Structure formats: C-alpha cells, structure tokens
Structure 1
Amino acid sequence: MQFKHPEILYFLFLLVIPILVHLFQLRRFKKQYFTNVKLLRQLQQDTRKSSTIKKWLLLATRLLLLALLIFAFAQPFFSAKEAKSKENELIILVDNSFSMQAKGSKGELLKRSIQELLESLPDTQNFSLLTNNEAFWDVDIKAIQPELQKLDYSALPFELDYLLTQVATKKPNTQKDYIIITDVVATNSKKIEDISKNNQVYFIHPKAENKNNISIENVQLSQILDAFYEIKIDLKSYGTTEEAIPVAVYNNETLIAKSQVTFDKTDKELKINIPKTAFHGKVSLQDNSLQYDNDYYFSISEPKKQNAIVIGTDEKNKFINKILTEDDFVVTNTELAQLNYNKIDVQQTIILNEIAEIPQALATTLLSFYNKGGNIIVIPSQENSIQNLNSFYKKFGSFQFISKIETEKQITKISFSHPLYKNVFEKKITNFQYPKVNQSFTTSGNGLPILQFEDNTNFVVAITNKIGNLYAFTAPINKENSNLQNSPLIVPTLFNMAQAKNTSKTNTYTIGNNETLVIDAILSKDEVVSITKKDNSFIPQQQIISSKVKLSFGDYPEISGNYDVMQAKNSIQQISFNYPRTESDLNNTNTTIFEKATTVNNVATVLNDLHTKRTDTALWKWFIIGTLLFLLIELLIQKFVK
C-alpha cells in the first residue's frame, strides 16, 4: 500500500493525547460514609469494573476512528499492475489496402474501422496513426477527424514491418502501445513477435462476410489482324461464382464490345476483337465484392514504322529484308565501310549481319545506343575471331565466346516463355522440323537462352539492361552454314527482335513496381515531361538520353487509369496504369503473425483494458467508511454499555 500524501501520517502522533487523557484523568472521587456499607461496597466494586471496561472500549474506538481519519486524508492506494506503462505512447496502425473494401456486418471494413476510432478515442487522448501511405504524428482525434473521414484506399500493400520501422525511427527509446487494425490479407511480418515482447500489442481483425471475388488479372494483345486487334483478357475467380459475369470493353467512354463469362474453373480466358486503331480504354466487369480489380486499363498506340539499319553485304541481307517489310519497318542496308555513324541514334534496331570484324569505334557507338534503349542483333561471321567477338561482348556484360565447333547441331529447344515468342505459339511444340547449323561457337556468361541446340548449348541468347536489348547468335545463318532461313522459326524470331520497341502493344504498367519507359522525345534545357489525366498528374523521374527520355515511375501514380505523356501541351504517348492484384484473394489471410498479440473486437475494449491495468486502486473511501463505522460504534457504547 502506498500514500499520495504520506506527510499527513505524522498526525498519528496525536493519538497519544487521548491515551494520556485516559491514563491521567483529573477527576477525583469523594468518600461518603454510611451506617451499613456492606451492600454499597459490593455495588461500588461492580460499578467501577463496568466503568473501566467502557472507558477502554471508548479509548480503542476513538483511537481507531482518529487513525482511520488520518489514513483517509493521506489517500492510501494500491499501485496498478502496469503503473510504469502509464506514459506509453499510443500507436495506431490502420490497413487501408484495397482488400479493406470488402463488406463486413456493419459495412465496408475500412470505413467502419475509421468510424469506430472516431467514436471511441477520447478528445484528450494523444496518439500517432499510420496507414499504408500516410502518417499522423502526435495528434488527437479532433485534429485529424476530417482527414480520417476522407481516407481513401491505397495501392500500396499493408507492409507491417515497414510501418513498425517508421515508428521505431520516429519514436526511439520509448515504450509504446500498439493498436493494429487489418484484415491480414497478404500480410506478413518478421518484427511483430519481437515488438510484442516489449510492448503491449492489440490486434483488431475486421472480417469480410462475402469472400468471393472476381479479378481482371491482365489484358494483352493476342493477335494482330488486318482490321482488328484481338485482345486476351485473363480473369480469376476467388471462391464460388455461379452466375455469368458481364464483361465490357471501352475506348475512352465509348462501349466497344460486350461479353460474359461463366466460371467453371478458377482461371478463365476471354478473347475479344477491337478495331485496329489507337486505343485508350479499359476492360470492366461487375461483381458484388471488391471494386478495385474490376477495371483494367490499357492503351494501344498508333502503329509506327521502326527504323532499322542492317550492316552487311546485299547478298546476305536479302532474307532479312524479306522479313522486315516496308509495312512495318524503314530499313537501311549498308556495308560497314559506308556506315553513317550519325544515323545510329535515330534507329530502333541495328543488325550486324556477318561482318568479318567489329571495329572498336562501332562497338563503343553501339554500347551507347544500347544504353539509350536501342536493340542490337549480332549474327557472327565464320571469319570472326573469338578475340574480336569477346572484345565486343565484354562491353555488355560477362557473355563470352569460348571456341569454334565444326560439328553439325540441330536447334531443338525454344524458350516459349521469352517475350519474343509471346502469342507466337498456341502450344509448346516438340516435334517441329529442326533447323541445323554446320559450324557454331560455344559460349559462357550471363546470356538468357532463347534458342538452344540439342546438347543444351546456346544458339541465340538475350542480354538486357531493361531498356535496351542485345540478341546474340552463336552461329552464322547463311545458307552455306545453316538451313534456318528456310525454317518458319526465323520469321517470328527476327521480326520480334526488331519489333521490341513496337508501339502496337498494350502500354500498361503496374503501380508500385517502379517500372521504366523510354520514349522518343527531344527536350530543351530544364524541360520535363509529365504524366497527366483529367484529375491527376505527376512528374516522373526522368533521364535524357540523346533523342530519348527514360522515365521511372517509382510508386506513382496513386490512382489507376489512362494517362498521357505530355511534352509542354502536346501528348506524345498514351499509357495506362493498373493497381497490383495482390489484395484480390480475401481468403489469403495470415492471423498467425499476431499469436503473441492480444486479439480484441474493438477499440473501446483496448482503451478499457489499458485503463484498468494502469489505474491505481484508491482506498481512502474505505477508510472514511471505517471512520463512520467506529463513530457509530462509539455512540452505541455510550448508550448501551453501563
């Protein structure tokens, strides 16, 4: 037991006064004589004995009464179980990812959680609140009420460890109480267990009533026809969906096509034809669950001819010119001696077709071209020395030629997953007529295989820096050394290598993936391009690379949709951004990470628990009651004890 005013206990010394009064009473008795005192003496003895008992009872009662009164004024109390934690800082972490759009028993999970905070937190309670994309430090509920009521969903996932790191950085060396509100969809944490050891952690788990959901996972070009684009729409069902789901395709706000899909399995694919023109629209579906993944935005730019230079002899270049037709390419054929180096920067693709030696100046120029986002295709010559080839390739990484092999080999393995062969094959082919080569080079290094020989050595590899591509053949493909020119495989391989920067594709990016885009644009000093749509715009990180600009999007934009890349007031390209689909599966929950935390149903329970554990037990009321009780006992003694 402890006292708020222990100094008052000194008044206990005053209890000696009634004791002294009792021991040294000043009243004296006068003797009176009677003729017959036998009976009176006995009566006198009984009366004195009864009076002595009464006086001792009254003394004890008064001493206890005064002692209890003094104790009451000293305000005794029992210390709270967590008295040392009274000054803990309250930290509230709120998940505002898209899965919190789901509806619980009282409405949308996020909106209901915010309303509960507004209703439960006292006006005087100081706290810090963090969401996926916002932070409010050292505030009270009135100060941030407007912001909380307007709080929107975030494309950023609920990264608990990142938020805990933010708190630790902002509030070092302080004890904290955590309230974590999340549906734990796609949530993981390595720090929460350690945090729970040294801090009080409360976990509130809002639960969705309907966990069925349908998501548009991807939209891509599957085929380019004479008058139409065929787009492939990938959809996914989470849970059970019995009814047919309507799907619509819009170009801007104009409805282009409608269809519907029935989910007899989890993943479904839908193909729809749209006009072969510049497209800036979306695919949309309707379901009764999450809304964020019901729209998928995509853009298709007007097809532009690609500029390509083919360096080699006219005779050897013939088969390349048959593949890179005038409908899709502007091809310049030149021999090495007549090459105009100044024209390289305005090309999209440079093809080195069996030139006997790659000059050092050309290698340096091509490296710069590659670093600016250009594509290079290198077909070696039988006359190439390994030293010359390696001198060229070492500029692009660790890819190297080892030795020349004069053994016939068949090209038997195709990397069907490589972007070059996207939408080329309807299924994996294993029994096609294998092309062959008579002579080839063995290689080592960091090249990604595209085509391979029967002995698993490489025939074509790709090297990339994410904006530029280098495609390296390991054998000449002239008719004397190979029959590849007569194989159907050569057409999509060379065509797609040269078309790697073709604008006839869905220009879509995923928010938060920090993707890059290289566009053709000549900017003046201090000029920047911006990414804009009607109600939202931002300036991306950008790097000028000669006549091109490399854009890095980071975590922007925050809102999905169709955007224009703007130079001054002119739109130079149309692109689209979509939210990541990481929140679509409402059954993908992970409550085990909060096993060490205290699970509660609402914020009010947390506040009551903290108040109970940290409030001292006051005893002064019981001492006042004791004082009154002994006062009553004294009155009863005075009245009934003779």
Structure 2
Amino acid sequence: MSLQTRKSSVIKKWLLLFTRLLLLTAIIIAFAQPYFKAEDSESAANEMVILLDNSFSMQAKGSKGELLKRAIQDILENTPDDKQFSLITNTTVFWDTDVKSVQKELQSLEYSDVAFRPDFLLTKAQAKKPNTTKDIITITDAVNMDSKYLNDLNADASTYFIVPEAENKNNITIDSVYIAQALDNFYEIKVTMQAYGTVEEETPIALYNGNKLQAKTVVNFTEPKQEATFTIPKADFNGYVSVTDNNLAYDNKYYFSITEPEKQNVIAIGETAKNNFLSRIYTTEEYNFTATELSTLDYNILEKQDAVILNELTEIPQSLITTLKSYYDSGLNIVILPNAKSSAQNLNQLLSAFSSTTYSAVKSTEKQVTKIAFSHPLYRTVFEKQISNFQYPKVSAGFTLRGNALPVLTYDDGSLFLASVTNGVGNVYVFAAPVNTDNSNFQNSPLIVPTFINMAQNSNTTGVSAITIGKSESIFIDALLSKDEVVTVRSENSDFIPMQQVLNNKVKLSFGNYPEKAGNYTIYKDNEPLKNISFNYSRNESNLNLQNKAILKEYNIANSVEEVYTDMQSKRTADELWKWFVIATLIFLLLELFIQKFVK
C-alpha cells in the first residue's frame, strides 16, 4: 500500500512539474506578443475613394427603396465616424471628408443625366493625389456599363464593386414628338414611346401647354413601340407631354416647343420658264417665293432665304458656290436640279463644298423611280403607311450620283434619283436628273408637292424644337447683336448664357451640357423674347435591362459597405497569437489547481 502511495506521489509531482513548465512557457510567449502577419498588411494606409453612381437609372427601386438613396444610407450607417475618405459622384466631389461632414449633402444628392464613367471619376482622384495607393469602392447598378470604362481599375484586393439591383425593370419612356401633319389651322403631332419589359395595363398620357392641360389619352403597349396622336392649334406652343409610369420618373416628360409658322423665304435661280412649276408649289399664301435668272441675281437677298433652288443652271459660278456654303453653315437648305448640259466637273465643284458626293457623266437611259425612303425626314410625315404601288416617275437621261449622300428616292436599278446631306442645321438635296417635262414626268407625280414643300422647310424656323442636353446641338436665330450684346436662355427657375457666334443677321447658339435641368426655356435679347426652346435629358438610362454586371466578375463583389470594411479589416489585421497563450496560461493554472486537489 505504501509503495502505491509513493508511486502516486511521484506521478503527481511530475504532472505538476510538467504543468508549471507549460504554464511558464505560455506566460513567456504571451509577453513576447507573437503574431502572424496580415494577408494585406501593406494596404492598411491606403486612401479610401468611393465612386457613387447617381445617374437616372439609380432612381429604380430595389428591395429597400430607390437604389441611390439606399446606397447613400449604406455609406452613412456603415462607414466608421473616424474614417476619412473621398467620395466622387457623376457631378459632385467630396475630398478628404467623413460621414458626419457630408451627411446632409449626400442625403440631398440629386440624380444626374451624366452617365456614370468610373474611369473618368478615378482620373479625378488620381489627379488629386497622384502618388497615393487607393482603396476603391464603386457603387453602381451597372446599367450601360462597358468594359472599357474599367481599364483604370485594377482587379485586386483594393477594388470592390457594390451592384444594387432593381426589383422591377419595367419602364416607359417618351422618345420624341414630331409634327405628323400640318392642317390649315391645326397641327397633328405624334408622340413616340418605348416600353421596356411588360406593360399590361393602359397607360395614360397627357399634353400640357405651359402648365395647362390640353388633352389626355391612353396607350396600350401591345408592342414595345407605340405612338399617341394629339391635335393642337397652329400657334406658339411651349409645353410637354407626360406619361404615367411608376418606375423611372426622369423620362416620363418630354418638353417641346413649336413656333407659330411664318412664311418661308424660297428663291429659285434658273430660267423663267423652268421656274414656273415651282411658283405653283410655293404659293403666296404660305411662302415668300422669288424666281430669278442667274444673270439678274442679287446676292444680298440670299442671306434672308430659308431655301435656295438651283434650277438647271448650265454653269454655276464660284462666287455663288462660296456664298451658298457660308449660308448653308447657318442653316440654309439648298436644292440642286442639274442641267443635262452642265459638266460633271462644274457640278462636282459645287457638291465638294458640302460633301464627298459626286456626279458622273450624263447617260441617256430611261429609268423609273421605284423606291421611297419612308423613314427619311423629308417623307416621315407624308405617308400614313408604306406603299409599294404608286405612280412611278421616270426620267429619260441623267447623271449618276456616288458618295455618302443619304438616299431619298431611288431608281429601279438601285442608283440614286434624289439624295441628301446635312450638317445638322442645313440640308442639301441633290437630284441626279433634270425634272423638266422634256426629260421627266416627275412634275406630274404625286411626289412633287410634298418633296419640294418639305425641302423648303428650315428646321430653325419650323417644326418641333426639342434639344437633348449633352449632345452639343446648335440652332440659329434671327437677331442683330451689337458688339457687346449677348442672348440669354431663361426659364422660370434658372438662366444661362450659351456659346454664341454672330453670323451676319443670325446668331448661332451652342448648348453643350447646358442647361442642367430639362424644361421649357425662352431665348432673350435683353428682355425681348426671341424664341421658345425646350431641352430634354438623354434617354440612355431608360432601359434597366441593359445592366452589365457580368463584366465585373474579375472584381471583388460585395453586398454592402459594411461587408467591404469587414473584409478589408480581416485581410489587414494581424493574427495576434499572444491572446491564445494567455488563455493557455489560465488553462494550465486551473489544471495545476485541479491536480493538487484531486490527484493523491
């Protein structure tokens, strides 16, 4: 029995010794504070940059509300108060800030018509601090995202994407408004709309002149593209059409202006006998029509014309070509009816001022005009539906047109009878053959009247005025300005001075990215209103089905800002082993007490 007691005592001593050695070792190692180096420890001092998409598509609603508002709330709630960062949106920059400093500005951040380009935004950040390594959090719905926008973003541990998604991607947008038919006292206007996704119910659409309701109707989207028709008085109009849609709001209104029609100024230069058919088209009730021979032409009256018709001139002088070119740049329409006796060289000298289209030599071959470009602006409002069995005009002889001109009327062999070129404000209409009664029956065709009437229409003085913001469109207005005078563009809530260039008795206005807000505006000289004008946002953000999340597969994708910060912290925080050795010390201490108490 005593032998067994001595053996137990020896075992107890060895256990206590072993336990105390382990206890002492754990204490020593704990004080040494060992750790494993963090996976991404070198990035701990990176500058934080948040790229936030506030384009119109972020108006869409996700599971927790509008995508942009939810993203802002995510930033404010989950960014540590002491965390400094820079935040860049499509339109606004907040440098070296924190959540408390930018809370009010972010909560009142407005949607923008500027497309989200992460490469552009990152360039701003690089320019601000060019030699600083950055952590990048990009929050975007990825609508219309292109892989080329990601060239400056490295797919490494420091780049994260948060991609909120809309729950309902159905949307209706108003694309355009145009005059379908000009009656004696009324305009028939058509509103073109596009539905993305499925729209099963009738959709109300309303027309307003100013803020006064003019008419209402409903549209059934049995097809994605639909049109609504309204009739309005033939007078000044400055209003909008509005569609009821519960998804994106920015594209539910389309602003447009129509100026009460004035008589168009049209001049025909050619032989008196050959100009007679034009005088029957351009009647005195609607046009200020002038017919003159080249020898008696007064060049000074050309600047006041909306359209100039060169009617079978045998020779076109260089002085006339130069004059026409200068007025074409100011919005003049030019109609070229060639003379069979003209040289192709002289005609091409004229055409070279406007495009690369050329005439070849005359051929005495009878041809029929068999194809109409119904979608061409010249005929868009002429035909209610496409027709294939109309009275074919024909010609006995004519030139051949080659080049980049847009087809309007085409022969049965596919070559051009009538083509057009444009600089955006003026148009040049080019016939391949003379249309006199000896060479063609075109003057007896039903096409003759709408063709020549529409060729005389100047886009600056007739039709719908509706400019898309950001497309750098220009218009010309009739105004005489002194050296220091400028015109301004005003609405009820804002005004701006557009880029302007004085050209004789006209002023060319260019708008670039202005105004900032869509709406109806008026152009003023001092306090004298000159012209109503309307601006609309681009519809590029309307199709929510264009989300391109797939191109982000090489990047870190997170569901929230909180998840990003948690991931960064786990990768950049060293694994401190001393804590485990403190725990081991306590375990060994308890083990020693247990041995002393229970081991005999």
After TM superposition, the score normalised by the length of structure 2 is: 0.91
SS of 2:472's equivalent in the other structure is coil
Alignment-derived partner of residue 269 in structure 2: 311
The amino acid that maps onto 2:552 is F
What is the aligned counterpart of 1:436 among 382, 389, 394? 394
Q: Is the 8 A contact 2:426 2:458 kept in 1?
A: no
Give me the whole-angstrom Cα distance separating, in 1, the residues matched to 2:175 and 2:469. 14
Give me the whole-angstrom Cα distance separating, in 2, the residues matched to 1:241 and 1:55. 86
Give me the whole-angstrom Cα distance separating, in 2, the residues matched to 1:621 and 1:61. 19
Alignment-derived partner of residue 478 in structure 1: 436
Distance 1:459 1:629, change over 3 A: closer
Give me the whole-angstrom Cα distance separating, in 2, the residues matched to 1:570 and 1:200. 57
When the two chains are superposed, the root-mean-square deviation of aligned CA atoms in Å is 3.0
SS of 2:360's equivalent in the other structure is strand
Distance 1:372 1:74, change over 3 A: same
Q: Is the 8 A contact 2:434 2:440 kept in 1?
A: yes
Give me the whole-angstrom Cα distance separating, in 2, the residues matched to 1:437 and 1:130. 63
Matched, 1:501 2:459: yes
SS of 2:418's equivalent in the other structure is strand
The amino acid that maps onto 1:341 is Y
Give me the whole-angstrom Cα distance separating, in 1, the residues matched to 2:289 and 2:201. 52
What is the aligned counterpart of 1:97 among 55, 61, 66? 55
SS of 1:197's equivalent in the other structure is coil
Alignment-derived partner of residue 110 in structure 2: 152
SS of 1:290's equivalent in the other structure is coil
The amino acid that maps onto 1:218 is S
Matched, 1:406 2:364: yes
Give me the whole-angstrom Cα distance separating, in 1, the residues matched to 2:520 and 2:104. 29
The amino acid that maps onto 2:185 is A
Q: Is the 8 A contact 2:46 2:135 kept in 1?
A: yes
Q: Deviations over 1:462-516 (max 9, x none)?
A: 2222222222222221111211111111111111111133633110112222222
Task: Give matches, 1:189-200, under 5 Å.
Answer: 189-190=147-148, 192=150, 195-200=153-158
Identify which range, 68-77 or 245-254, moves more after superposition. 68-77
Q: Is the 8 A contact 1:193 1:593 kept in 2?
A: no
Matched, 1:224 2:182: yes
Identify which range, 300-309 or 72-81, moves more after superposition. 72-81
SS of 2:155's equivalent in the other structure is helix
Give me the whole-angstrom Cα distance separating, in 1, the residues matched to 2:224 and 2:350. 49
Q: Is the 8 A contact 1:161 1:189 kept in 2?
A: no
Alignment-derived partner of residue 3 in structure 2: none
Q: Deviations over 1:389-414 (max 9, x none)?
A: 22222232322222111222222222
Alignment-derived partner of residue 250 in structure 1: 208
SS of 1:430's equivalent in the other structure is coil
Alignment-derived partner of residue 4 in structure 2: none
Alignment-derived partner of residue 302 in structure 1: 260
Matched-pair identity in %: 54
Distance 1:261 1:445, change over 3 A: closer
Q: Is the 8 A contact 1:69 1:623 kept in 2?
A: yes
Alignment-derived partner of residue 550 in structure 1: 508
Identify which range, 235-244 or 254-263, moves more after superposition. 235-244
Give me the whole-angstrom Cα distance separating, in 2, the residues matched to 1:191 and 1:577. 28
The amino acid that maps onto 2:412 is E
SS of 1:195's equivalent in the other structure is coil
Q: Deviations over 1:195-217 (max 9, x none)?
A: 35334333323233333322222
SS of 2:371's equivalent in the other structure is strand
Question: Shift of residue 631 of structure 1?
Answer: 6.6
Matched, 1:186 2:144: yes
Q: How many residues align structurally? A: 597
SS of 1:392's equivalent in the other structure is helix
Distance 1:407 1:641, change over 3 A: closer
What is the aligned counterpart of 2:301 among 343, 349, 355? 343
Q: Is the 8 A contact 1:348 1:501 kept in 2?
A: no
Identify which range, 64-73 or 79-88, moves more after superposition. 64-73
What is the aligned counterpart of 2:381 among 411, 423, 438? 423
The amino acid that maps onto 1:503 is T
Q: Deviations over 1:434-456 (max 9, x none)?
A: 11222211233332222222222
Q: Is the 8 A contact 1:247 1:261 kept in 2?
A: yes
Q: Deviations over 1:323-365 (max 9, x none)?
A: 1122322122222121111222222222111222111211211
The amino acid that maps onto 2:103 is Q
What is the aligned counterpart of 1:534 among 492, 502, 523? 492
Q: Is the 8 A contact 1:160 1:188 kept in 2?
A: no
Q: Deviations over 1:72-92 (max 9, x none)?
A: 444322211111221223222
Alignment-derived partner of residue 450 in structure 2: 492
Distance 1:633 1:223, change over 3 A: closer
Question: Shift of residue 546 of structure 1?
Answer: 2.1
Distance 1:636 1:585, change over 3 A: closer
Q: Is the 8 A contact 1:407 1:439 kept in 2?
A: yes
The amino acid that maps onto 1:162 is F
Distance 1:396 1:202, change over 3 A: same
Q: Is the 8 A contact 1:299 1:507 kept in 2?
A: yes
Identify which range, 231-240 or 415-424, moves more after superposition. 231-240
Question: Shift of residue 114 of structure 1?
Answer: 0.8
Distance 1:640 1:236, change over 3 A: closer
Give me the whole-angstrom Cα distance separating, in 2, the residues matched to 1:404 and 1:364. 25
The amino acid that maps onto 2:303 is D
Q: Is the 8 A contact 1:304 1:502 kept in 2?
A: no
Give me the whole-angstrom Cα distance separating, in 1, the residues matched to 2:435 and 2:96. 70
SS of 1:113's equivalent in the other structure is helix
Distance 1:287 1:401, change over 3 A: closer
Q: Is the 8 A contact 2:119 2:152 kept in 1?
A: no
The amino acid that maps onto 1:228 is F
Give me the whole-angstrom Cα distance separating, in 2, the residues matched to 1:199 and 1:549. 55
Identify which range, 477-486 or 384-393, moves more after superposition. 384-393
Distance 1:420 1:236, change over 3 A: same
Q: Is the 8 A contact 2:119 2:151 kept in 1?
A: no
Q: Is the 8 A contact 1:200 1:597 kept in 2?
A: no
Identify which range, 325-334 or 200-209, moves more after superposition. 200-209
Question: Shift of residue 165 of structure 1?
Answer: 4.5
The amino acid that maps onto 2:529 is S
Q: Is the 8 A contact 1:311 1:336 kept in 2?
A: yes
Distance 1:324 1:501, change over 3 A: farther
SS of 2:309's equivalent in the other structure is strand
The amino acid that maps onto 2:321 is A
Question: Shift of residue 320 of structure 1?
Answer: 0.8
Distance 1:410 1:175, change over 3 A: same
Q: Is the 8 A contact 2:141 2:547 kept in 1?
A: yes
Distance 1:434 1:638, change over 3 A: closer
Distance 1:183 1:432, change over 3 A: same
Distance 1:166 1:194, change over 3 A: closer
Q: Deviations over 1:614-634 (max 9, x none)?
A: 111223334444556667778
Q: Is the 8 A contact 1:251 1:281 kept in 2?
A: yes
Give me the whole-angstrom Cα distance separating, in 2, the residues matched to 1:443 and 1:131. 50
Q: Is the 8 A contact 2:460 2:475 kept in 1?
A: no
Alignment-derived partner of residue 75 in structure 1: 33
SS of 1:566's equivalent in the other structure is strand
Query: Larger Rg: 1 or 2?
Result: 1
Give me the whole-angstrom Cα distance separating, in 2, the residues matched to 1:81 and 1:257. 66
After TM superposition, the score normalised by the length of structure 1 is: 0.85
Task: Give matches, 1:82-481, under 5 Å.
Answer: 82-172=40-130, 174-190=132-148, 192=150, 195-481=153-439
Distance 1:241 1:359, change over 3 A: closer
The amino acid that maps onto 1:337 is S
SS of 2:248's equivalent in the other structure is coil
Question: Shift of residue 232 of structure 1?
Answer: 0.9
Identify which range, 197-206 or 354-363, moves more after superposition. 197-206
Distance 1:616 1:483, change over 3 A: same
The amino acid that maps onto 1:442 is T
Q: Deviations over 1:115-171 (max 9, x none)?
A: 121111112212222222223233222222222111111112223443344445555
Q: Which runs of 5+ in 1 are unaligned?
A: 1-48
Give me the whole-angstrom Cα distance separating, in 2, the residues matched to 1:275 and 1:640. 107
